Structure 1
Amino acid sequence: MRIVVWGINYAPEPTGIAPFNTGLAEYLAGQGHEVAVVTGFPYYPQWKRAADTRGKFFADERRGNVSVHRCWLYVPGVATTVRRIAHELSFGLVSFFRALALRRADIYVVISPPLVLGFFAWMLTRLKGSRYVFHVQDLQPDAAVGLQMIKGGAFIRALYALERFAYRHAAGVSGISDGMMAAFADKGVPLHRRIYFPNWLRGPDTDGERPLSFRERYGVPADALLAVYAGNLGRKQGIDILLETARLLESREKTDPAARRIRLIIIGSGAGRAELEANLAGAKLENVQLLPLLNDEDYSAMLKESDVGLITQAAGTGQFFFPSKLLSTLRAGLPVITVADEGSELARAVADGGFGQNIPPGRADLLAESLRAVSADPLLRRTWAARTQWVRQFSPALVLPLFQQRLELLVDETRQGPGWPVRQRELSHP
């Protein structure tokens, strides 16, 4: 097959959607397919293009067996709602013309966000006589409503209309979680076009010889309970709860040995980092640190030497995206304490797997108490850690071949014509 993966993020961006877009393209190319990628110039998570890419409108490169075609896009210095819309529209329009200039693909895998790519994919495939799969990493309209990022009924209705349009014209609509599959059903996507395609475990195993001590480098005592958040620092993550938790723990240190042993580290970049940095400086807390993104060696060391992974979501967002950082955290054998709506995908995963505890958003007191309980009870921590094997179901050896099979079915369907029977089935969960 000739396949085009079309998405705004790609390597060398280290976090977010880019590693999964990259992994998918490289896997398909490794299976003997001809794969091209239409993407933007790297900018995430710093929201800043590298100096050597500024002034370029298009650029082509070869990364392994994949042809990568990069396009100009507007990158705002501050990612407000209006500027983010302009950012996504700019990529959609420019990348449409770049994809149009490429040779026709048998199937286009279109990654959302940006949601607007669904409209451009429909135009492209109509012109090319092909089809597209719309792969949803984030239910953008629902998340925007949940976070109250967009006000005004007309605009929200327009977003939902754009979403319906993208789903209706796609040969398949794929999502990364059970909740998304249910949402697709509610939004009218028929069973035979719904594809379960979860994010998968990625990166090297953390077994083997340990790099230089992460704790020594950042002044974390050997007997401290080290709880770490690593990932995007944006509005959806609701990171402020970690600072409030640190304040509560510090206030108890004189009378509570378990609280005194806890250290928090926040690692990452994103639109909310500057505000978080200012708040942290003003709070003058000694039990929490803010670090930049880590290289692979330091990230591996951090996972090995931490005791608990922290994963947070703002209230009202848990139904609409699933944090891939859960997978890498569990793969390292780390139990987790999460902050998410009770009905969210993240909360359900914690309940099903038994590898940690979920705390409702806004309850820093409960998060502090949960950390204190883990600090005081090593057996609880070991029990949670033993249950992290739940994550093995997301092995790339299970997930990626199933998605490739679904693409092959769709291409066969196209070649056989509209009379060829559709297989009325949904891919089983790995």
Structure 2
Amino acid sequence: MTAKPVKLAIINRSFWPVYPVIGEALLRFAEQTVSSGNSVTVIMQDHADIRKKLAEAERGKGVRFYPAKAWTNSASSVLLRAFDAIFFMAWVLAVLIWVRPGKVYVSTDPPVVVPFIVMLYCRLFRAEYIYHLQDIHPEAANVVIPVNQWLYRILLKMDALTMRKAKCLITITGQMADEIRSRSGTTVPVHILDNPAVSFDNIDLSKPKIAGFSFCGNAGRLQRIPLILDAIEAYFDQGGQLIFVFAGGGIYSDRLKSFSDRFEQFHYAGLVTPVDAAQINADYSWALLPIEDEVTRYAFPSKSSSYVFSGAHILAVCGEQTGVAQWIKKHGVGVVAEPNVEALVKIFFDIERDAIEANSNDQSREILKEKLKFEVFVENLFGIVR
């Protein structure tokens, strides 16, 4: 990192091995930082007996881990989730005071409150912190479920202060960086860093692709699932022949299951492993990337990186002015469709008839794939944090 060794704390609730993308990336970052002669503490939440897993995999040597007990899973109640968040917040503060790092890397996992506590710790103990905004909260949460306006304003002011006091900020897109500067008034550097993609090392990319679409990821409120299903049904009713396969959980999983029961050309795989999701993406000629326009100001769909490595053309379903649409066009990895049934049905038939220009640029895709590799993410993060 620097000529003088530092004590770095890495705070991210999600971690290896349960989270194979950002968790793996942060573990590699911790290992590289230790190998450079620095002291590293990782504060995370433990879902899988991480010390045992690290020993079995011979990973994390020299890194000190402070795992907090995980009290919840995807089926837990809102009340238990709230307790879990408060417990993790208290754990972070206790470990920081105990370890006294001179530098802290903190992300939006979890958002607002934990980064705010890191800011308070750093002000009190004259440390510095780097704030990685994978999403911008409370705005991103407010798009999904409206937050009480009194609480929303408090959280907004807390996070804006955290942004202003950081050594620097990291986010995913230029659109998100503009939003950060606009709402916080921060003058610190804002770095753009693409998240890495899940490893495709064990994925078979040699098979002929199936004519159809894959969708792998959260089937939630932001993914326009009702619109997508209405368009697919209208396409099938008019004789469409493409295959559609969906994988992942979310509030619309039951609807996806019932839709799968109704239509032979539609398959719902349910929850799958990241490796299985990557193989599904690689098997199909197109990948669906629907997202609500408003949320693109505050977040970026993580599945996009996996879609790039799969070799599938991407059909983004969003407004032309969004950061997602601009990303698709800039890198030549697909096309953008307006979010309405008629436009989607038309583009499905155009794809079926090979009557659409996929805007595919193999050279541009290869350049993007290089940027999305784990080692590139780790090296860039290392350069920013040092």
Equivalent in the alignment of 1:233: 219
State how 1:343-422 maps to structure 2 within 5 Å.
343-361=321-339, 363-377=340-354, 380-381=357-358, 383=360, 387-391=364-368, 392-408=370-386
- Aligned match for 1:8, one of 13, 17, 33: 13
- Equivalent position amino acid for 1:343 in 2: Q
Q: 1:266 to 1:22 in 2, by over 3 A?
A: farther
Q: Determine the C-alpha separation between the residues in 2 that align with 1:284 and 1:406.
A: 51
Q: How does 1:62-73 map to 2 (within 5 A)?
A: 63-65=59-61, 66-73=63-70
For residues 143-189 of structure 1, give each alpha carbon's deviation from its aligned partner in whole angstroms, at most 9, with x where no partner exists.
23334x12432122112112112112222221111112112221345
Equivalent in 244, 250, 254 of residue 230 of structure 2: 244
8 Å contact from structure 2 (residues 223, 290) kept in 1: yes
Task: Say yes or no: does 1:263 pair with 2:260.
Answer: no
- For 1:20 and 1:228, how far apart are their aligned partners in 2? 25
In 2, the alpha carbon distance for the partners of 1:336 and 1:22 equals 30
In structure 2, the partner of 1:179 is 175
Provide the C-alpha distance between the structure 2 equivalents of 1:118 and 1:369, rounded to a whole number of angstroms: 45
| Counterpart residue number, 2:91 | 94
Q: Alpha-carbon deviation of 1:121?
A: 0.6
Structure 1 window deviating more from structure 2 (169-178 vs 376-385): it is 376-385
Alignment check: 8 A CA contact 1:137 1:175 kept: yes
Q: Tell me how far 1:85 sits from its aligned partner.
A: 5.0
| Alpha-carbon distance in 2 for matches of 1:144, 1:208 | 36
Paired with 2:90 and 2:33, the residues of 1 have a C-alpha distance of 26
Matched residue of 1:226: which SS?
strand
Partner SS for 1:308? strand
Question: Secondary structure of 1:108's match?
Answer: strand
In structure 1, what residue type is equivalent to 2:11? Answer: W
| Post-superposition offset of 1:240 | 2.7
Which residue does 1:218 correspond to in 2? none
1:51-109 deviation digits (Å, cap 9, x = unpaired): x89xxxx99966433433211344265578777555433322233223333x2323110
Equivalent residue for 1:111?
A: 107
Does residue 199 of structure 1 match 2:195?
A: yes
Question: Are 2:138 and 1:158 aligned?
Answer: no
Q: 1:26, 1:231 → 2: CA distance?
A: 29
CA contact (8 A) 2:33 2:40 kept: yes
- Equivalent pair of 2:177/2:192 in contact (CA under 8 Å): yes
1:122 paired with 2:123, answer no
Query: Which residue of 1 is the match for residue 281 of structure 2?
Result: 303
Q: 1:39 aligns with which of 28, 36, 44?
A: 44
**Deviation (angstroms), 1:38:** 0.5
Contact 1:8 1:40 in 2 (8 A): yes
Q: What CA deviation, in whole Å up to 9, does each residue of 1:376-398 have, x standing for no partner?
A: 11773484666533523444444
TM-score (norm 2): 0.83
CA separation of 1:192/1:385 partners in 2, compared to 1, >3 Å: closer, same or farther?
same
Q: Which runs of 5 or more residues in structure 2 are unaligned?
A: 1-5
Unpaired stretches in structure 1, ≥5 consecutive residues: 43-49, 214-221, 254-258, 409-430
For the residue of structure 1 that corresponds to 2:296, the secondary structure is coil
CA apart distance, 1:243: 1.9
Deviation at 1:358, TM superposition (A): 1.6
Equivalent residue letter for 1:157 = R
In structure 2, give the amino acid aligned to 1:71. A
Of the candidates 259, 279, 292, which is equivalent to residue 280 of structure 1? 259
Change (3 A) 1:349 1:272: same
TM-superposed deviation, 1:139: 0.8
Return the letter of the residue paired with 1:24: F
Q: Deviations over 1:330-364 (max 9, x none)?
A: 12322100122433221110122232112233x13
Say whether the 8 Å CA contact 1:6–1:111 is kept in structure 2.
yes
Paired residue secondary structure (2:294): coil
Using a 3 Å threshold, how does the CA distance of structure 1 residues 404 and 199 change in structure 2: closer, same or farther?
Answer: same
Choose the corresponding residue for 1:134, options 131, 139, 147. 131
Give secondary structure in 1 for the equivalent of 2:297.
coil
Cα distance change of structure 1 residues 371 and 80 upon mapping to structure 2, 3 Å threshold: farther
Over the residues paired in the alignment, what is the CA RMSD in angstroms? Answer: 3.3
Residue 314 of structure 2 contacts residue 333 of structure 2 at CA under 8 Å; is this kept in 1?
A: yes
1:133 Cα deviation after fit: 1.0
State the TM-score, normalizing by the size of structure 1: 0.75
Q: Mean Cα displacement is larger for which, 20-29 or 33-42?
A: 20-29
Instruction: Give the distance between the partners of 1:364 and 1:331, measured in 2 at CA.
Output: 28
Identity of aligned residues (%): 17
Contact 1:61 1:67 in 2 (8 A): no
Does the 8 Å contact 1:233/1:268 carry over to 2?
yes
Matches of 2:350 and 2:265 in 1, distance apart?
17
